[in-house]
């Protein structure tokens, strides 16, 4: 039921944000986003899917959608950007996931639908991800990307965080964002 799905969605983490294409909110992902997230990935262009997954993909399988929609919001997080004012089911226009690598490091992956690229959606997702990482005592976020992708390189550089790049193989590099020292745990 649509009412049940809406009730299960987590609230937006911020007020609606403006872009030339319209308004959007960034919020934590929820299990009720399963269908909308699958639609989002199926609707990406081949170039956008290749940039996100470093290879050709027609979308994501149900099992991966379940994983993306089921973070515990403590160790793993998922954020979505959702268009505001759209009739019908939620319209996800961006997705960012954070997967733990260690107690103080997460791997980050991001995708924004083609029509909403260069509208501040990726930057908003990244800003909220950095805030989440800092609140959860994460010191570093690692983003694997193709060295030939200027959009993602520009996005991570716009974070304002100190970063280093490490080369990998086959044209892929890792951007390591230093989001700050992990907070000291209270005694």
- Cβ atoms of 33 and 41 closer than 8 Å: no
Q: Is residue 186 part of a domain?
A: no
- Is 134 a residue whose pLDDT tops 80? yes
Is 185 a domain residue? no
Count structural domains, the chain.
1
What range does the domain containing 97 cover? 2-178
Backbone phi, then psi, for 28, in 5-degree steps?
-70, 145
Within-domain flag for 35 = yes
Q: Is residue 95 part of a domain?
A: yes
Counting residues of the chain whose pLDDT is more than 90, the rounded percentage is: 31
pLDDT band at 35 (very low <50, low <70, confident <90, very high): confident
Read off the pLDDT band of 2 (50, 70, 90): very low
Average pLDDT over residues 128-155: 88
- Asked if residues 129 and 153 have their Cβ atoms less than 8 Å apart, the reply is no
Is 55 within a domain? Answer: yes
Tokens for 119? 């509208």
Is residue 44 domain-resident? yes
Of the pLDDT bands very low, low, confident and very high (cuts 50, 70, 90), residue 187 is very low
Confidence of residue 66 (pLDDT cuts 50, 70, 90): low
Domain assignment of residue 60, yes or no: yes
Coil, strand, or helix at residue 102?
Answer: strand
**Domain harbouring 68, CATH code:** 3.40.630.30
pLDDT of residue 37 exceeding 70, the answer is yes
**Stated pTM of the model:** 0.79
The answer to whether residue 187 sits within a structural domain is: no
């Amino acid at each position: 039921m649509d009412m049940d799905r809406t009730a299960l969605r987590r609230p937006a983490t911020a007020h609606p944000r403006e872009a030339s294409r319209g308004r959007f909110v960034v919020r934590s992902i929820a299990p009720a986003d399963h269908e909308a997230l699958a639609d989002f990935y199926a609707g990406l262009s081949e170039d956008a899917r290749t940039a996100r997954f470093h290879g050709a993909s027609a979308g994501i399988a149900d099992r991966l959608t379940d994983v993306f929609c089921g973070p515990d919001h403590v160790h793993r997080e998922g954020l979505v950007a959702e268009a505001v004012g759209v009739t019908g089911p939620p319209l996800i226009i961006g997705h960012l996931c954070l997967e733990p690598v260690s107690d103080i490091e997460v791997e980050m992956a991001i995708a924004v639908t083609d029509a909403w690229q260069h509208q501040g959606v990726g930057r908003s997702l990244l800003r909220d991800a950095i805030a989440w990482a800092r609140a959860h005592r994460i010191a570093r976020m690692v983003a694997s990307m193709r060295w030939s992708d200027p959009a993602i390189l520009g996005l991570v550089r716009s974070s304002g965080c100190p970063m280093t790049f490490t080369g990998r193989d086959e044209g892929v590099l890792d951007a390591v964002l230093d989001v700050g020292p992990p907070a000291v745990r209270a005694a």
